[in-house]
Amino acid sequence: MEIVKNARIYVAGHRGLAGSAIWRELERQGFNNLIGRTRSELNLLDSVAVQKFFTAEKPEYVFIAAAKVGGILANATQPASFLFENLQIQNNLIHNSHISAVKKLLFLGSSCIFPKLAPQPLKEEYLLTGPLEPTNECYAVAKIAGIKLCQAYRQQYGSDFISAMPTNLYGANDNYNLETSHVLPGLIRKFHEAKLSGAAAVTCWGTGKPLREFLHADDLARACVFLMKNYSQSDFINVGSGQEVTIRQLAELVQATIGFPGEIVWDTTKPDGTPRKLLDTSRLFALGWKPEISLENGIRLAYEDFLKTPAK
Ligand code: GFB
C-alpha cells in the first residue's frame, strides 16, 4: 500500500519511547502531515475529548503507541491502573478510528501477552494457550483485548486494523525512573550514578537468570512503518530482534559500556518475572524486514540519550 507523503498520520503517544521513534521514522521517510498531541493537550482516557479530536483532525492513518507502560515493579504494584487505563486508551482510539473511517490503524501490544510457560521462541499462535505471568497479567489482558478489538472491527466492519507485538524495547525517550522503569534504562541510571558517586556495588533485581530479548525503538519504528505499508491481516505479528541475553549478561554489558569498576549484587527479594520471553519473528522476517541495531551499539546509543535527559 502506497501512503502519500501528505497523508494525515496520527501517532498516539508521540512523546514516548515507541511513539517518538515512529514519529522520527515517518519524518525521515518524508511524511509531512504528522499529528501528535501531548497528554495535556488530549487526555486519551476521556472518550468525549478523543471523539472531538478525531472529528476535528480526521486522521487517515493511526499508530497506537500510547499506553500506560512500566517495568516489572510498576506492573506488579499498580495492576488496576495498568488494566483500566490501557483498556480505556485503546478503546477510545480504536473505536473512534472506526467511527471516523480511518484508512488503516496499527495497534502496538507487548510480548507479555504470551503464556508464562509457552514454548520458545514464541510463535503468534501460542496466544491464549496457557496462564499468563502474574507480575504483568493485567497489562497483558489489556493488550490481548486490544488485539481482539482490532480483529473484531476487521471482522464486523472490514476495518484495516492490524496489531504488532514488540519484544522488550529500549532507546531514546525511555523512562529512567528507578521504581517504574524497565530493566535496561534502570540499569543505565544505576551504573551511571554508581560510577559518579564512586559506589562499591550496584544492586540489580532478582537472580539475574531470566532471559530477555531486546529491540531498539528505532528498529521497532522501522518495522511499524513497514507493516503499515505492507501488512493487512487479522493475525497480529511479532517484532523481535533475536538478541537474547540473561539479565546478568545485560547488567555486565551496561556496566562495561558505562565503565563502572565495582561489583554487581543481586537483590533476590525482587521478582524475576517470566523466565524467558523470546519472540519468533520468522513471519515478519519472511515479509522482508530485519533489525539493524545490535544490542551493544543500542546500549551505547541509549546511554548517550540518558546523558542528554534531564534528571527526574
Ligand atoms: O524490564 P523489566 O522491568 O520487566 O525486568 P519484564 C526484566 C528483568 O530484569 C526482571 C530484572 O527479571 C527484573 O527483576 N531487573 C534487574 C530489573 N534489575 C532491574 C532493575 O533495576 N529494574 C528493573 N525494572 N528490572 C515487563 C512487563 O516485564 O516487560 C511489562 O512488566 C512489559 O508488562 C515489558 O511487557 C516489556 O521484562 O519482566
Atom of ligand 1 nearest to the CA of 75: 31
Instruction: Specify whether 139 is catalytic.
Output: yes
pLDDT at position 11, please? 99
Ligand 1 binding pocket includes 175 (Cβ within 6 Å): no
Residue segments in the chain with a per-residue pLDDT below the cut of 50: none
Q: pTM of the prediction?
A: 0.98
pLDDT at position 188, please? 98
Q: Whose CA is nearest to atom 31 of ligand 1?
A: 72
pLDDT at position 1, please? 77
Q: Which of 68, 72, 133, 184 to mutate to test the pocket of ligand 1 (most atoms within 8 A of CB)?
A: 72
Cα 205 to averaged position of ligand 1 atoms, centre (Å): 9
The packing angle between helices 183-197 and 247-258, to 10°, is: 40
**Cell numbers at residue 169, please?**
524495547
pLDDT at position 105, please? 99
